[in-house]
Structure 1
């Protein structure tokens, strides 16, 4: 019985990983629907058109899918060769945003390009993953054996972290740092080294948390948002009210009360709270399961590549899966009050062109690794059948 279901759910005989495509397409569609619902009132207030943000988000979705299809055609070997150049591109973007970036809510994170803005940290995140996957392929034995090879990536990470602090974008720092640590861990580096590095990272994070009064205020308001619910704890309390209203099945699509100017950033950082209010616990858990499916399939593809000895492809898949997992977890944890407020979008769901484009490119990379693996398996199968046929004729 179990074997029968396993055969039915398997994508081995399919041209691509259908489960990965299903999770991605579902999240994109749900995101478009929820952005339309969550942004209608604020769009009406700002522009007079309730579908202003919905139309823009739809354009972003279509454009992101097209960019993803283009990225799908790029061979992995070419991505690997571009690794050092992409790392430089990420640094240049993070420097450029400090000088020509548009300031929003006290942070310079967006480079204005006329009709749209590019979030530098989103592009830099992808650049760093590609570079680091290439680094692990070239120096994997040394990373497992030598302190120097293990610590060199932290120098590169340190440059990114310093530039992100100047924006500031602490959410991106957590995601990028967690991704790199995860990739190092999955490369087989000794665990005791991670213990030492983790102590230093936690100490540095603690210092950054108390270095500025507004950061300390965020932590204290996170611990008890109801103590100052109309000031520092306002966003979190409104998000928690949205979750409380949702119950099991929600208030119904479009019936959110919190999006009526109560919950700030309802269509961007806190879209998950509106989703929980309108679709309830069932809808919220379904979205979490879709993210889990996407991450699981990404790691599974990476594991297949690793077993074949494709180190770059494997760590590229691991890094992408870790970024999706970390960013989704942090966004949902912030909305539910498990973590202090961070300015992170929910991948594939939240409003924002940069996040959508980069997310679709990362999914395309996963699909490219899967496609090259399937092509290799088909070639091996054909060669094996040809050999068996030749032996049979003899």
Structure 2
């Protein structure tokens, strides 16, 4: 119940925040101020339905079909790169058009990688903990996934999936020496990827001093910081944001937290951060209890979901507040974005099912 209540609170905040942040944008581009809010509500209904469906499915099904989910995700990542199939927005080819809606394969890949790795680490526990090949096999899968993501390009999803995979393998008990060698190689590869694209270097340098070029590379961060400053303690009131009036690009997606902070102030921003901390802490607690109840697959699923939620929340809020370089990542359950919202709900449904099964274990033992 705690997981559900925390998630519902974030979903309601997301509906309010994305609606407020998108009204003027939707009015200007679609001549309908409620265009994005209606679509967000539809995504919300679909997401809740998907969460209920994932809750009703036994974890054993996910365990036995992990490979198929991974292959499906890789197929979608390849499909989106085919010219004429994937939709290009702002120079990135990340979306598959499905009639009036779009599908973002990178979001589906996050779920697929978590499910696959959780099953792999249970089946190959001895190899993962004691042998190089047990560690290198999932790394090969990770390399294939990240290469496809970088071809879109989607650097943010690459970082989140890589960090989640490394975190899950570390929690599974891989040898520290093996882990450190591969992590250092991965960091070196990420550094090369950053340096290879001038726009990434500009983003990295701009966040250190956005005011040096406030109308160029530092524009987004400067406008975001202005939103935080205007919010002060209690905000300017819901719907009264000035920065959403075409000052702050992507106000309803990547920078929805900035608009929320402007309209609800420091108190509102801290409330959202507190909800994420409580939700992620609860998911980790469920994972720990699943491990104690001899359900390592459920535990690894929980750890992977917690890593994805915490990573995306930290990067999104960190980028909007100037703590991290500007990066396009949605805030789970809050930002506008159908695929992200639905996948997050599916992940949460999985965790709730694992929590429910863990609660039944002591009852079964007492009945015996």
TM-score over 0.5 for the alignment? yes
Q: Which moved more, 1:193-202 or 1:361-370?
A: 193-202
Instruction: Give yes or no for the alignment of 1:239 onto 2:224.
Output: yes
Q: How many residues align?
A: 366
In 1: Cα distance, 2:278 partner to 2:2 partner: 7
How far did 1:347 drift?
0.5
Q: Which whole-Å deviations, capped at 9, do the CAs of 1:19-59 have from their partners, x for residues lacking one? A: 21111000000000001100011111112221111111011
- Contact 1:19–1:293 at 8 Å: present in 2 too? no
Of 80, 88, 94, 1:109 maps to: 94
2:51 counterpart of 1:68 = yes
Q: Is 2:300 the partner of 1:315?
A: yes
Matched residues in 2 for 1:257 and 1:161: separation? 38
The runs of at least 4 aligned residues of structure 1 exceeding 4 Å deviation read none
Q: Aligned to 1:296, which of 264, 281, 287?
A: 281
Bigger Rg, which one: 1
User: Which digits, 9 at most, give the CA deviation of each residue in 1:78-102, with x for residues without a partner?
Assistant: 0111101111001001000101110
Q: How far off its partner does 1:193 sit?
A: 2.5
| Conserved 8 A contact 2:26-2:33 | yes
Q: How does 1:53-202 map to 2 (within 5 A)?
A: 53-99=36-82, 100-202=85-187
User: Using the alignment, how far apart are the partners of 1:274 and 1:192 within structure 2?
Assistant: 44
Distance 1:166 1:330 in 2: 21
Residues 243 and 276, structure 1, Cα contact 8 Å, conserved in 2: yes
What is the CA–CA distance in structure 1 between the aligned matches of 2:175 and 2:134, rounded to whole Å? 12
Cα distance, 1:217 vs. partner? 1.3
Cα distance, 1:208 vs. partner? 0.9
**1:195 to partner: Cα distance:** 2.1
Q: Give CA-to-partner distance per residue, 1:310-366, whole Å, 9 cap, x none.
A: 111110111011100101111111101111111110010000110010000000000
**For residue 48 of structure 1, what is the aligned residue in structure 2?**
31
Give how far 1:221 is off: 1.2
Alpha-carbon distance between aligned partners in 2 of 1:213 and 1:356, rounded to the nearest angstrom? 31
The Cα of 1:371 is off from its aligned counterpart by 1.1
Task: Select 2:16's aligned residue among 4, 21, 33.
Answer: 33
Secondary structure class of the residue paired with 2:193:
helix
Please say if 1:306 is aligned against 2:291. Answer: yes
Q: What SS does the corresponding residue of 2:88 show, helix, strand or coil? A: strand
- Using the TM superposition, name which of 71-80 and 40-49 deviates more: 40-49
Specify the alignment match of 1:263 in structure 2. 248
- TM-score if structure 1 supplies the norm length? 0.91
Contact 1:247 1:280 in 2 (8 A): yes
Gap regions ≥5 residues in structure 1 = 1-17, 384-394
Question: Which consecutive residues of structure 2, in runs of 5 or more, have no partner in the other structure?
Answer: none
Residues 119-147 of structure 1, C-alpha deviations (whole Å, 9 max, x = no match): 01000110111000000000112211111
Deviates more, 1:172-181 or 1:193-202: 193-202
Name the SS of the counterpart of 1:254 in structure 2.
coil
1:23 matched to which residue of 2?
Answer: 6
CA distance in structure 2 between the partners assigned to 1:292 and 1:62 by the alignment: 25
Provide Cα deviations, 1:170-190, integer angstroms capped at 9, x if missing partner.
000010000001101111122
Q: Distance in 1 between matches of 2:347 and 2:358?
A: 17
Contact kept in structure 2, 1:76 and 1:369, CA below 8 Å? yes
CA-CA distance at 1:198 after TM superposition:
2.2
Q: Once the 2 structures are TM-superposed, how far is the Cα of residue 191 of structure 1 from its aligned partner?
A: 2.2
SS of 2:207's partner is: helix
Contact 2:207 2:221 in 1 (8 A): yes
Structure 1 distance, partners of 2:187, 2:56, is: 40
Q: Cα RMSD between the aligned structures?
A: 0.9
TM-score, normalisation: structure 2: 0.98
**Preserved contact between residue 293 and residue 361 of structure 2 (Cα < 8 Å):** no
Give, in whole Å, the separation in 2 of the partners of 1:138 and 1:223: 45
